[in-house]
Structure 1
């Protein structure tokens, strides 16, 4: 995941910003993101080391020398929460209030299987999903959930089995394949005040996060980090920082 600081394009500082709540639910409790107006120290060397770890750069490359302090006091102007996706833009802003508490479940082998479905605990199904028509046999409904990128995912919610349980059947294997989910990953659902459903993913380990081959090289990113920070310090202007919170 990335955070971008730049001029304000949409107000993501609101407490009822569903996009931010879903992002933080996916990121986990250890991720701390500064807010607009906060004063922070920016560490160029630390940023470079993070890029090296992220890009899996082999060998050491001699970098140009910039006259930069070890830490730079900055004021955050704007924060944009982003998510990794090669197919979709990641800057969509959603402003909906949460009606029900989110629920999170780690995927079991049967959840991750292409021939199975996603088993939902009854309490979470009752809280987060619209009520089923129990006069049907079996009770079923079609669910549409939006992810962080605004893409829609369609699932068939069914209540069946012995003993009976809630399952997401049709559409679930497509979601698992598209998101490259593995056992141990967590699936997160939120329900908006207007009844709209949202879905997110929290990866089990950071080692599963891969970088597309087409992304700019680690060396070029490091050059850009130093050059932009040096220019900002020299001219007293704003600069943009892309980083992945650990």
Structure 2
């Protein structure tokens, strides 16, 4: 979930895939995942892609996969677009990329990477917690380790008794969740 004072994302017409906030996407993908920037040269492996598609759709690789005997085993491409998504049923995050194969002559040209697009943003501070039924009950609260709360949440106003604030979180599917952040502990004086 992404915590914010203002919701991210805009309404997307029905049937279109909504792109995810980069920080939220990276938090779900994990720290070992990084995406190439727009304008980068990448290597595309058609056979590996076909095998991934077959595995994700539970079909045999040869059953419905077109055969292109003249297609090379790898293609040098330029990345034109990257969008980040999450599967509606499994919450698995994935990226959709638009690639353009480069001709033999284009591959020979000197390549100086240009910053053509904004790099994807890795989250700086986050923590993970699997919410249970009691976390989403009418009480609207869940326990968070103090260090995580201090690192991730906006600072509490300790002049209030008890110190509290409302947090609005949006999940991968842009559902809004409201929680009350209350400090319950001893303050050092």
TM-score, shorter chain, exceeding 0.5? yes
TM-score by length of 2: 0.55
Which structure has greater helix proportion? 1
Partner SS for 1:105: coil
User: Where does structure 2 lack aligned partners over 5 or more consecutive residues?
Assistant: 1-19, 96-117, 136-140
Cα offset, 1:72, TM superposition: 1.2
1:42 corresponds to 2:48: no
**Does the CA contact (< 8 Å) of 1:138 and 1:159 recur in 2?**
yes
**Conserved? CA contact 2:168–2:179, under 8 Å:** yes
CA separation in 1, counterparts of 2:179 and 2:34?
32
Higher gyration radius (CA): 2
1:106, CA displacement in angstroms? 4.2
Q: TM-score, normalised by structure 1?
A: 0.44
| Higher RCO structure (Cα 8 Å, ≥6 apart) | 1
The Cα of 1:70 is off from its aligned counterpart by: 1.1
Paired residues for 1:75-86 under 5 Å: 75-85=78-88
Choose 63-72 or 36-45, whichever is displaced more.
Answer: 63-72
User: For the Cα contact (< 8 Å) 1:36–1:79, is it kept in 2?
Assistant: yes
Aligned partner of 1:115 among 134, 137, 148:
134
Q: How many residues align?
A: 132
CA distance in structure 2 between the aligned counterparts of 1:158 and 1:119, rounded to whole angstroms: 10
Q: In the alignment, is the contact (CA less than 8 A) between 1:101 and 1:128 conserved in 2?
A: no
Question: Does the 8 A contact of 1:83 with 1:148 survive in 2?
Answer: yes
**Cα separation, partners in 2 of 1:133 and 1:34, compared to 1, 3 Å:** closer
